[in-house]
Chain A
């Protein structure tokens, strides 16, 4: 059995190759996952998210709970679980969903019961950030590792001030401090092109992703 010390010693005993030096961590030059100078953060986010089949809806902050309930109804969802990362929006969303006739649970309360979580029609989560240049929404273990993709529909509330430029701003910045056991990016519905390169949505994760963007 190889232990830590002998394993690392074996690697360390090898000759050393050429080291060109580590580039600065200040930028990702030429990456298509960064914003161009002067580009609108929210417009780019919406365009990229829509390019990967996300439904994006901009609403005033006060209208978010109603927009979430409407998004669930439009998806035909009868049951939904709400993730704790909705924060202050949790109770208003719960109220509006119940008023719309949707049976709502807390994701945290049912996540331990895989069969029940797997039978949900929809989940609603917040996020800790969104990436303009890729159209990704960023969630964490705090809200639930599987919360974004356990159900056929995922509704995500994004605040305009949570949108960052690109991958560099996300990974080098402090927006993701305290991510917990998982930092998770998702851009649009689950997809596969394994069978003869035919694009199919909703393979394992949701087939419908609806972003409610609070401006």
Chain B
């Protein structure tokens, strides 16, 4: 929603004026904390919200259980292997498939735009909106648009932007950020949503998710019926047909791409699949790993603007292809990060994510894939420390529907961080000294003996639970149980 004074008919959802928090978000969507705070600080802040940890645990347990039930009695591994091969083949041949997709899409009358980076993508999308003389824009959930901080750019261009996914609507109204790829307000309670919607409604609403949803539906329906432009992401691009595939449960994706007179899809170039038939492999994995569903309620395969004999649909369809650091990964050590289909399953099983939540990762993507993508897209300087925001337990490898070796990628990023001298000086000196000492038998015996004596002094009943000098931060949250000497 525009931060400037509302124009006539604006700043109102469902006939209700918007609360202060909406008009001037405290935390503009897309802004990131990477440069200004550390992972430890963000994690600490998020650990102070006890509801959040319970909510994440409940929600992720629920989804993981549904996933297991969904694939029970099927050859799940055969399907994952098929998907891995399709994704690896598509990415290895990305230049050819991208060109094929562009040719097919243009033949369908889709206007294709090319954004080398985030800034160019923002300019392109805002330009299409202003060229169309748009005042109001409805959006369906798009992680790519979070990546490029699109909403702020559109608001700065004087557009009224309304997120239509229920969770994203709450995120936008609170000036918050999504904390999970699939479930944006995993970290919020029904009570918080009730408070927000009550402020918007100007009356106390009940804390009943059905009533809260129907309040949002009414306002969002008004937005759908009055919007000039609909902006979506895209779950897949089909090279052989030039189509964009969109998956939603609420139906907001279908309405966003059907009702306004202009549709813009913002899609990362890695979303390509060679053939339409590949959807039979990838869709059940995306939905099964994302939510545990056999299939989402809605799947839209979009192939252009309204046809001459069709009763509805947009007059124009634009696709903005986003590179934004993707092509730089092709052919390199981290290429497999591009295989990701954004199902969120690795977040659900990650012991670190489950404690600290998505916001602690500081940018758009959380969990293991976030710890991989953030330094790759945003640079080592600000994102590199995230390769340590993991226990390397490997649960993410086991659950990834396209078998991305997240564990290896995280280790690779740790190696790169050391090689680029991005690790703190104290850490590098400590490890260098340790390495030197333990290469010599005498020094090894001397240091281990001293450590054993020191720990025995620090221990009570065989457990060291106090902070150790020089290792204060590491030992503050960890106990060391001393083993008996044989």
- The answer to whether A182 touches B185, judged by C-beta atoms less than 8 angstroms apart, is no
- The answer to whether B307 touches A141, judged by C-beta atoms less than 8 angstroms apart, is yes
- The answer to whether A20 touches B252, judged by C-beta atoms less than 8 angstroms apart, is no
Distance of A147 Cα from B212 Cα, bound (Å): 26
User: B193 contacts which chain A residues (CB < 8 A)?
Assistant: 195
Q: Check: A31 CB closer than 8 A to any chain B CB.
A: yes
Distance of A16 Cα from B92 Cα, bound (Å): 6
**Which of A6, A111, A171 has its CB near the most chain B CB atoms (within 10 A)?**
A171
CB-contact partner of B297 in A3, A12, A189, under 8 A = A189
Interface positions, chain A 163-215, Cβ under 8 Å from B, are: 166-168, 170-172, 179-198, 200, 202-205
- The answer to whether A190 touches B277, judged by C-beta atoms less than 8 angstroms apart, is no
- The answer to whether A10 touches B209, judged by C-beta atoms less than 8 angstroms apart, is no
Chain B 51-63 near chain A by CB (<8 Å), digits 1 or 0: 0000100110010
Distance of A92 Cα from B116 Cα, bound (Å): 55
Distance of A132 Cα from B75 Cα, bound (Å): 19
CB-contact partner of B283 in A33, A107, A142, A145, under 8 A = A33
CB-contact partner of B213 in A29, A83, A200, under 8 A = A200
- The answer to whether A17 touches B331, judged by C-beta atoms less than 8 angstroms apart, is yes
User: A111 contacts which chain B residues (CB < 8 A)?
Assistant: 311-312
Question: How far does the Cβ of B433 sit from chain A's closest Cβ, in whole Å?
Answer: 38
Chain A 101-126 near chain B by CB (<8 Å), digits 1 or 0: 00000011001101101100000000
Distance of A81 Cα from B288 Cα, bound (Å): 34
- The answer to whether B116 touches A2, judged by C-beta atoms less than 8 angstroms apart, is yes
- CB nearest to A107 among chain B residues: B311
Contacts A/B (CB < 8 Å), 21 sampled: A2-B114, A2-B115, A2-B120, A10-B323, A11-B95, A14-B95, A14-B327, A25-B278, A30-B78, A32-B294, A33-B280, A136-B295, A142-B309, A166-B280, A181-B305, A181-B306, A181-B310, A192-B166, A194-B170, A194-B184, A203-B249
CB-contact partner of B331 in A14, A114, A171, A180, under 8 A = A14
Residues of A within 8 A of B (CB): 1-4, 6-8, 10-12, 14-23, 25, 28-34, 48, 52, 83-84, 107-108, 111-112, 114-115, 117-118, 133-136, 141-150, 166-168, 170-172, 179-198, 200, 202-205
Chain B 224-245 near chain A by CB (<8 Å), digits 1 or 0: 1110000000000000000100
Given contacts A171-B277, A190-B250, 13 further A-B contacts (CB under 8 A): A7-B323, A19-B88, A19-B89, A33-B284, A33-B294, A171-B276, A171-B279, A171-B280, A182-B258, A182-B313, A191-B297, A204-B217, A205-B250
Chain B 88-117 near chain A by CB (<8 Å), digits 1 or 0: 110111110011001000000000101110
Q: Check: B354 CB closer than 8 A to any chain A CB.
A: no
User: A8 contacts which chain B residues (CB < 8 A)?
Assistant: 95, 98-99, 102
Give me the 8 closest cross-chain CB pairs, A-B, nearest first: A15-B331, A205-B251, A30-B75, A7-B114, A30-B79, A194-B167, A19-B92, A108-B311
CB-contact partner of A205 in B85, B254, B257, B301, under 8 A = B254
Chain B 61-88 near chain A by CB (<8 Å), digits 1 or 0: 0100000001100111111001011101
Residues of B within 8 A of A (CB): 55, 58-59, 62, 70-71, 74-79, 82, 84-86, 88-89, 91-95, 98-99, 102, 112, 114-116, 120, 164-167, 170, 183-185, 188-190, 193, 209-210, 212-213, 217, 220-221, 224-226, 243, 249-252, 254-255, 257-259, 269, 274-281, 283-284, 288, 291, 294-307, 309-313, 317, 321, 323, 327-328, 330-332, 335
CB-contact partner of A186 in B74, B99, B298, B335, under 8 A = B298
- The answer to whether B311 touches A84, judged by C-beta atoms less than 8 angstroms apart, is yes
- The answer to whether A146 touches B255, judged by C-beta atoms less than 8 angstroms apart, is yes
User: A183 contacts which chain B residues (CB < 8 A)?
Assistant: 243, 300-301, 303
Distance of A144 Cα from B68 Cα, bound (Å): 37
CB-contact partner of B280 in A31, A52, A144, under 8 A = A31
- The answer to whether B190 touches A146, judged by C-beta atoms less than 8 angstroms apart, is no
- CB nearest to B335 among chain A residues: A17
User: A143 contacts which chain B residues (CB < 8 A)?
Assistant: 311
CB-contact partner of A11 in B78, B243, B269, B283, under 8 A = B269
Question: How far does the Cβ of A28 sit from chain B's closest Cβ, in whole Å?
Answer: 4
- The answer to whether A187 touches B167, judged by C-beta atoms less than 8 angstroms apart, is no
- CB nearest to B327 among chain A residues: A11
- The answer to whether A187 touches B295, judged by C-beta atoms less than 8 angstroms apart, is yes
Given contacts A30-B74, A142-B310, A196 and B209 within 8 Å (CB-CB): yes
Question: How far does the Cβ of B66 sit from chain A's closest Cβ, in whole Å?
Answer: 11
CB-contact partner of B307 in A15, A107, A181, A193, under 8 A = A181
Given contacts A31-B284, A181-B306, A3 and B183 within 8 Å (CB-CB): no
Distance of A142 Cα from B308 Cα, bound (Å): 10
User: A136 contacts which chain B residues (CB < 8 A)?
Assistant: 295, 299
Distance of A184 Cα from B283 Cα, bound (Å): 14
User: B298 contacts which chain A residues (CB < 8 A)?
Assistant: 149, 184-186, 190, 205
- The answer to whether A180 touches B312, judged by C-beta atoms less than 8 angstroms apart, is no
- The answer to whether A4 touches B79, judged by C-beta atoms less than 8 angstroms apart, is no
User: B249 contacts which chain A residues (CB < 8 A)?
Assistant: 190-193, 203
Given contacts A167-B279, A172-B276, A187 and B297 within 8 Å (CB-CB): yes
User: B300 contacts which chain A residues (CB < 8 A)?
Assistant: 182-185
- The answer to whether A194 touches B251, judged by C-beta atoms less than 8 angstroms apart, is no
Question: How far does the Cβ of A159 sit from chain B's closest Cβ, in whole Å?
Answer: 21
Given contacts A8-B102, A194-B167, A195-B209, A168 and B277 within 8 Å (CB-CB): yes
- The answer to whether A181 touches B302, judged by C-beta atoms less than 8 angstroms apart, is yes
Distance of A109 Cα from B220 Cα, bound (Å): 24
Given contacts A18-B92, A172-B276, A184 and B335 within 8 Å (CB-CB): no
- The answer to whether A114 touches B259, judged by C-beta atoms less than 8 angstroms apart, is yes
- The answer to whether B79 touches A203, judged by C-beta atoms less than 8 angstroms apart, is no
- The answer to whether B164 touches A204, judged by C-beta atoms less than 8 angstroms apart, is yes
Question: How far does the Cβ of B138 sit from chain A's closest Cβ, in whole Å?
Answer: 11
Distance of A62 Cα from B188 Cα, bound (Å): 52
